[in-house]
């Protein structure tokens, strides 16, 4: 498995790429091989020149952070562009890297440049390249002894294998840790990062735009013009996550294992009766200490929906990968009104299969920062009551419905208990003294 990314080509890349220009094997299947020896200076001048061309977009291909080739779009006009790619470092030939890099620039052309068509020319004897392009849905439209012309309508570009679902609101101080961990994934499939940015008051949006510019083949940014709230943001991000699977990592959490996605996708591919896969997490406390999970305990029969209903939520959001199946719950009033959308989502998914667990720590959940974990007792109880009312209203299974009703009653009892505690506090001598002091200062 490799970590493959594309980033903008830069002048300094000439210090490596000039060597590729002088290797005849690299240019075996192209019609633009140099007829002179290419020096670092010549290569550097060429890069500076092509980067000024407004009708082209040129990128370096990185494999495990090593610069190994180039990919670019030329002649960008009339909603179309010509595609070129080469892997200059021969150690990386035949390893599927071209396929991954090609997809990223096509994704960029579709999602960022908003182009309609991409075409290319390839030597007919380069059979491996032709087959690779076909896997990205290119079709042959012209064929002659010298060249084969292929075309891709970007509306027919395949969806990624995984879409990473990210919700962001005022996560600026944590967001880089999150995004870097997503971009470090090593996979044999394509994944995109779908971000709903809910009109933050900090620099979250600026950070996202800078990352999209640096890694243009990975990000679909949903930049809401007005604050729409967590529930609506969640719904919109889910609708725009088109991968076969969806992974979740909110903007204040981060992953710690570069093979996380690969392992969870492998599990779901091998276990078709499972709809969701989650794993062990570490907790980052507000003090900065990273500790074992003290919030949840994995119960027996954790894979069953009834267990999830009875035990409340024992699944940490950044640990989740699930099958991207069509759920009617996404459009329901109850789902839109639920203050705790992840638990509602897992219960809806569990109608379609079991939930798998990997006993391996692969992410960190930041405690005391998220919308729910930072609420005080009364607000948490209010959220729980609203959650169980919506779950009860939406539920069809009478047994599960009874469980939600019981949970609702328990939450109401806790509210009553909190009022009793606070009423006793208000009647204490200490509170009366504090109240007198407050009134004196107020004057």
The bridge status of strand 148-153 relative to strand 117-122 is antiparallel
Dump pLDDT digits (tens) for 354-410: 999 999 999 999 987 655 454 567 778 888 888 999 999 999 999 999 999 999 888
Measured distance CA(269)–CA(271) in Å, rounded = 6
For residue 135, what are its two tokens? 């896997």
Domain ranges of the chain: 4-156, 162-374, 377-443
In percent, how much of the chain has pLDDT > 70? Answer: 91
Query: Is a pLDDT exceeding 50 seen at residue 411?
Result: yes
The pLDDT value recorded for residue 371 is 52
Query: Is a pLDDT exceeding 60 seen at residue 71?
Result: yes
Dump pLDDT digits (tens) for 234-287: 989 999 999 999 999 999 999 999 999 999 999 999 999 999 999 999 999 999
Measured distance CA(172)–CA(180) in Å, rounded = 13
Going by C-beta distance under 8 Å and a sequence separation of 6 or more, which residues neighbour residue 357? 277, 278, 279, 298, 302, 303
Measured distance CA(373)–CA(370) in Å, rounded = 5
Tell me whether the CATH fold assigned to 4-156 matches the one assigned to 162-374: no
Query: Is a pLDDT exceeding 90 seen at residue 103?
Result: yes
The bridge status of strand 139-143 relative to strand 117-122 is unpaired
Query: Is a pLDDT exceeding 60 seen at residue 443?
Result: no
CATH number, span 4-156: 3.40.630.30
Greater model confidence, 416 or 56: 56
Strand-pair partners of 245: 162, 323
Mean pLDDT of 83-109: 94
CATH number, span 162-374: 3.90.550.10
Query: Is a pLDDT exceeding 50 seen at residue 10?
Result: yes
Dump pLDDT digits (tens) for 158-208: 999 999 999 999 999 999 999 999 999 999 999 999 999 999 999 999 999
The values of phi and psi at residue 160, to 5°, are -70, 165
DSSP 173: H
Greater model confidence, 194 or 35: 194
Measured distance CA(33)–CA(41) in Å, rounded = 18
For residue 401, what are its two tokens? 């419905």
Measured distance CA(114)–CA(95) in Å, rounded = 30
């Amino acid at each position: 498995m490799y970590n493959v990314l594309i980033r903008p080509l830069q002048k300094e890349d000439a210090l490596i790429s000039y060597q590729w220009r002088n290797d005849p094997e690299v240019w075996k299947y192209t019609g633009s091989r140099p007829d002179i020896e290419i020096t670092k200076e010549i290569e550097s001048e060429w890069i500076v020149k092509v980067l000024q061309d407004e009708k082209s977009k040129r990128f370096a291909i990185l494999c495990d952070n090593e610069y190994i080739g180039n990919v670019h779009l030329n002649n960008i006009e009339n909603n179309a562009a010509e595609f070129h790619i080469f892997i200059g470092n021969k150690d990386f030939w035949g390893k599927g890297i071209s396929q991954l890099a090609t997809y990223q620039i096509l994704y960029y052309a579709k999602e960022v440049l908003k182009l309609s068509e991409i075409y290319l020319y390839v030597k007919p004897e380069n059979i491996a390249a032709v087959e690779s392009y076909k896997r990205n849905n290119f079709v042959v439209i012209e064929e002659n002894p010298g060249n084969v012309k292929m075309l891709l309508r970007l509306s027919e570009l395949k969806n990624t294998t995984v879409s990473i679902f990210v919700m962001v609101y005022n996560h600026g101080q944590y967001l880089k840790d999150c995004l870097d961990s997503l971009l470090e994934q090593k996979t044999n499939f394509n994944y995109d990062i779908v971000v709903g940015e809910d009109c933050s008051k900090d620099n979250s949006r600026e950070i996202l735009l800078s990352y999209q510019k640096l890694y243009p083949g990975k990000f679909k940014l949903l930049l809401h013009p007005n604050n729409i709230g967590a529930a609506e943001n969640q719904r919109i991000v889910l609708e725009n996550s088109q991968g076969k699977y969806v992974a979740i990592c909110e903007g204040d959490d981060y992953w710690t294992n570069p093979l996380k996605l690969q392992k969870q996708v492998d599990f779901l591919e091998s276990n078709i009766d499972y709809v969701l896969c989650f794993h062990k997490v570490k907790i980052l406390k507000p003090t900065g200490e990273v500790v074992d999970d003290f919030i949840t305990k994995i119960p027996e029969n954790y894979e069953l929906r009834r267990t999830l209903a009875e035990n409340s939520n024992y699944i940490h959001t950044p640990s989740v990968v699930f099958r991207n199946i069509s759920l009617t719950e996404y459009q329901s009033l109850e789902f839109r009104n639920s203050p705790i959308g992840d638990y509602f989502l897992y219960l809806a998914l569990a109608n379609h299969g079991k939930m798998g667990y990997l006993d391996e720590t692969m992410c960190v959940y930041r405690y005391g920062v998220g919308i729910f974990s930072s609420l005080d007792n009364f607000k948490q109880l209010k959220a729980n009551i609203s959650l169980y009312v919506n779950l009860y209203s939406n539920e069809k299974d009478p047994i599960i419905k009874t469980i939600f009703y019981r949970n609702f009653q328990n939450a109401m009892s806790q509210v009553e208990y909190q009022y009793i505690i606070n009423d006793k506090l208000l009647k204490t001598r200490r509170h009366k003294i504090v109240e007198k002091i407050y009134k004196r200062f107020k004057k």
